[in-house]
Every structure is written in C-alpha cells, then in structure tokens.
Structure 1
C-alpha cells in the first residue's frame, strides 16, 4: 500500500467537519451510488456486511422520520438534502454462503445465537458506518452523523418487520462552512493510547 497524499488526508480527516447547516443543493442518486460503491469495500468480520441504508431524499420521507428525532435535530435533518438511515440486518448470516463462500459452515455459527448475531451486526454496521462517512467525503459530500433519535420509532416506521434495526443517522449534502462551530479539542495520543 502507498500512503495517501496530504490533500486526501485533509479531505478525509484534518479538514473535514461535521455539518449541521446545508446549502440548497441537491445530491444525485448517482452520487449516492458512488458513495456506496466505495464504502462497501471496507472490511467486516467474515465479510458479513450487515449495514442496510435508507437514503431519504424526498421531503415526505424526511417528514416520516421527524417524530422520531429529538427536537434539536429536527430542523437540520429536514433541511439536509439527504438523510441516510443506517441500520443493521439481524439476518445477515443468511448471506454468508455467498459473501464468505470459502467457509461452508459460516452460517451455522450464528443460527439460533441471538446475542452473537446482534453483537456482530451492530459492531460491523458501526464499522461500515465509519467507512460510509469517509466514502461520503471521498466523493465530495459533507456528512452530519448523529444519534439523538428514537431507534424504536425509526425501526417501526421504516423497518416494521423487525429484521433490520437502526444504528445511526447521517445527513448528507454540501455543508455551509460559514455555519460551522469551532473545532473541538481531541485527546492527545499519550492521553488515551499505550504501546505495550
């Protein structure tokens, strides 16, 4: 592997910010597909890929989400060009014969093991959520990931069969840089890391 250049580092990390205010500029479906097609290369355990994404573009779809949002998150979410609802499929293991094809017993490792299924799905969908944010930045979109919503209400509204559970939301679009908060402090290496 070759290290990425400073411009790429700036786009993905040091210059990237979480956005709450959005330009009035739409995001195409082609751009969302480009995002996904980058994100899906990120590693997951046993290539399980539990992430499921709903891209809410229409105002009607966003209005369905509104009752589940904390009041402080409603305006910025309704004004975002796209709201991605990131969830995890609790039946991801059904796809392992295809996605992890070199291990014929992979599916059986999960069958009937609810705690193992949920932990694996949540952990790996969270990993994929991180890749999602980086992929969004890679294709020129700004991201506003957030909690601050009622998961049960989102699940009932958008995934009522109970197979998919919501993890977090991510507003997408082209952010208004003039409305950014000052960057908050980060922990230094020596505060949170040890080399043993």
Structure 2
C-alpha cells in the first residue's frame, strides 16, 4: 500500500479507532486539547476559513445545563466523560479571515456579505474542521464519542444566547472505559463507493 503513515499510525487514527461510549475518569487536560487544536488547525478548508468554535464543558453545572438537551443515552454518557466539547459555527467567522487576495481587497465582502451564504460556507467548513478535530483527538491517544443526538437549538439558547454561534456536534473525550466500543459496523468497499470518469 502506498501510504506514508506506518501501520501503527493508521490503526491509531482509523482502523483501530471507534466511537467511545464509556470513559475512564482519567482527566483530559487543557494542554492536551491545545496540542490537538494546534495540530488540526492546519487542515484544509475553503479560503482557509476557520469557522469552528470549540466550547469545553468541564464544570458539573455546565454539564447539567448541557445534558438537559440530550436525547436518550447521550446524557448519561456525557455526565460520565472526563471532558465534553460543543462544536459550533461562528456565524461571524469572516471577520477573522486573513486577506485572501491582496490584489482584490473587496473579495471578502463579495463572498461573505450575505448572512445566509456565510452560514452555508461556515457550516460546510466547520464540519470539515470537526472531522480533523476527531482525528486529532485520536492522534493524542484519546477516544472521541461524537453525538448528534442533542437539541442543538436548545444548546444554542443555553450557551450562545447572542445568536452568533450555531452548535452542530457534541463530543465526549477521554480514555476509553470498560465495554467502550460496539461491534464495528461494516463500511462500503472501494468499488461500491469510488468511481472513475
């Protein structure tokens, strides 16, 4: 196989990594999360947009505020994880964009002046960044438990009352605990997913 990563790194990031449902009580430090972010911030996005915002939920009070918006078993999972992150889109991300084309200083306004198109672009690129963040968590030797089973409009009101951020994913983070993983579901084979034209 023509991959630059050795087999151990491939297993750590992909083949051996699964969504964790239980965690040990070993803490996840701010330094670990900063190291993850400082690595994955270089993942490619359109126009180098960085609309993803990460809110670390550490205190018990904040966890209780979060889990009131959880569906099913996601609440107990979140309460037992050493760290939980709310991933959201900063709807004003364009204000922090670097100058994209120095020869055309109005390009930022042309692309991002309308709120609706800005939200679409922000959501697409924040979703890309979320994938990088999950892989970065795995690269740190931690497990990720990403969840969409939350009332995100409720989370937005609870945590982002100014309306400038829209949440879309909650991730539990830590070392996997007992019976952390369900049996792996099958994936499509290469010839089922890839075509050449």
Pairwise same-fold verdict (TM > 0.5): yes
Q: CA RMSD in A?
A: 1.5
Cα deviation digits, residues 144-196 of structure 1 (max 9, x gap):
01100011110011111001100111110001253321111111122222111
Q: Distance between the aligned counterparts of 2:68 and 2:178, measured in 1? A: 28
- Normalised by the length of structure 2, the TM-score is 0.93
Instruction: List alignment gaps of at least 5 residues for structure 1.
Output: none
Q: State whether structure 2 residue 30 is matched by structure 1 residue 29.
A: yes
What residue is the counterpart of 2:45 in the other structure?
A: 44
Q: State whether structure 2 residue 142 is matched by structure 1 residue 141.
A: yes
Q: 1:90-169, aligned counterparts within 5 Å? A: 90-96=91-97, 98=98, 100=100, 102=102, 104-169=105-170
SS at match of 2:31: helix
What residue is the counterpart of 1:185 in the other structure?
A: 186
How far 1:138 sits from its partner (Å)? 0.6
- Normalised by the length of structure 1, the TM-score is 0.93
Instruction: List alignment gaps of at least 5 residues for structure 2.
Output: none
Q: Distance between the aligned counterparts of 2:56 and 2:101, measured in 1? A: 29
How far 1:64 sits from its partner (Å)? 1.0
Q: 1:70-109, aligned counterparts within 5 Å? A: 70-96=71-97, 98=98, 100=100, 102=102, 104-109=105-110
The answer as to whether partners of 1:48 and 1:100 remain within 8 angstroms in 2 is: no
How far 1:112 sits from its partner (Å)? 3.7
How far 1:39 sits from its partner (Å)? 1.4
How far 1:66 sits from its partner (Å)? 1.1
Q: Distance between the aligned counterparts of 1:35 and 1:112, measured in 2? A: 32
Cα 1:93–1:179 change in 2 (3 A) is: closer
